[in-house]
Amino acid sequence: MRLPIQIVPPSGTELRTRDSVPICIGYELLQHGFDCQAGGKSLSVACVIKALFLIFKPVETWEGILLARRSPVFLLVRYLLPMLLLAAVAEAFGLVEWGRNQSGLQGLHRVHKFAVGEAVVYETIRLVAMVLLVMVCAGLIKMFGETFRRRNTYQQAFTLAVFGLSPLFLLRLTDAVPGMHPWVSWGIGILLSLEVVYRGVPSVMEPDPPNAIGLFFMSGLMLVAITGLERFVTYWYLTGHTRPIESFITGLAAKLPF
């Protein structure tokens, strides 16, 4: 015999199961912030859903993130790495299956399909570089916060950097689509990221109200510059303009057993 269980959620969040038992599914997900504690595919899917909620429900999702109070190590292992791995796998598939247009002799263009080893080496290097860049961004955000006489922690800055850049990581999935220009996916992703950061700065960094817009402007400009530079370097490599880097990656790929 099942006993009726009722959880009273805030207004506007009530859903009903087939047994007509009111439950607060959406509210619970937002409060616990899609902790991404599952494994494998479930972990990646949960992180993608979290990124979507940050885009479409930023205020409620940021509240859930703040209540969870996750450490930088947890965010790195349970959120940032799964997001980057998912994007890397998607892009690597596109590089191997459809390739990229590269400039050839006499200004001619050709489609270069990457070997599996080349794609693996490239995506591994890019993943490590992105993790380091996010850490640097977090350190700079913390420094910006201190210029406004606010003693922020690295945990706060890392939280803002990781989740603020979630839309950019999410849009990297479209890099696997044939014909998708890398600058298009970056442009859409960084615009959405700036919107998420704008919503997150007051609640995460807790600046004085007059300083919030200044902190957002400095942080946003820095994120645009750093991620734009990363996109520029990867775009030049993928389009065949950086022969030394190509030779380096090809040499590493030749040493792989596949």
Same domain, yes or no, for 8 and 127? no
In the predicted structure, residue 105 carries a pLDDT above the cut 60: no
Same domain, yes or no, for 24 and 58? no
Two structure tokens written together for 175: 């890099």
Q: Which domain holds residue 55?
A: 34-254
In terms of pLDDT, which residue wins out, 38 or 109? 109
Identity of the amino acid at 158: F
What is the radius of gyration, based on Cα positions, of the chain?
21
Same domain, yes or no, for 88 and 155? yes
Dump pLDDT digits (tens) for 54-104.
999 999 999 999 999 999 999 999 999 999 999 999 999 999 999 988 875
Three-class HEC string of 178-203: CCCCHHHHHHHHHHHHHHHHHHHHHH
Same domain, yes or no, for 219 and 182? yes
**So what's the pLDDT on residue 139?**
97
The tally of domains found in the chain comes to 2
Dist CA 26 CA 5 (whole Å): 17
3-state helix, strand, coil in the chain (%, to 5): 70, 5, 25
In the predicted structure, residue 255 carries a pLDDT above the cut 80: yes
Same domain, yes or no, for 71 and 129? yes
pLDDT band at 106 (very low <50, low <70, confident <90, very high): low
Same domain, yes or no, for 1 and 121? no
Same domain, yes or no, for 57 and 87? yes
Over residues 144-152, mean pLDDT: 87
pLDDT band at 43 (very low <50, low <70, confident <90, very high): low
Same domain, yes or no, for 20 and 106? no
In the predicted structure, residue 127 carries a pLDDT above the cut 70: yes
Please tell me what DSSP assigns to residue 174.
Answer: G
Cα 33 to Cα 64, 78, 235, 241, distances in angstroms: 5, 12, 33, 42
Burial letters 152-191, b for 16+ CB under 10 A, else e: beebbbbbbbbbbbbbbbbbbbbbbeeeeebeebbeebbe
**So what's the pLDDT on residue 15?**
38
Q: Which range, 23-32, 110-119, 144-153, 194-203, is most confident?
A: 194-203
Same domain, yes or no, for 52 and 9? no
**So what's the pLDDT on residue 30?**
40
Same domain, yes or no, for 121 and 212? yes
Same domain, yes or no, for 66 and 2? no
Same domain, yes or no, for 27 and 43? no
Cα 17 to Cα 6, 20, 143, distances in angstroms: 11, 5, 48
What is the CA angle 78-80-84, rounded to 5?
120
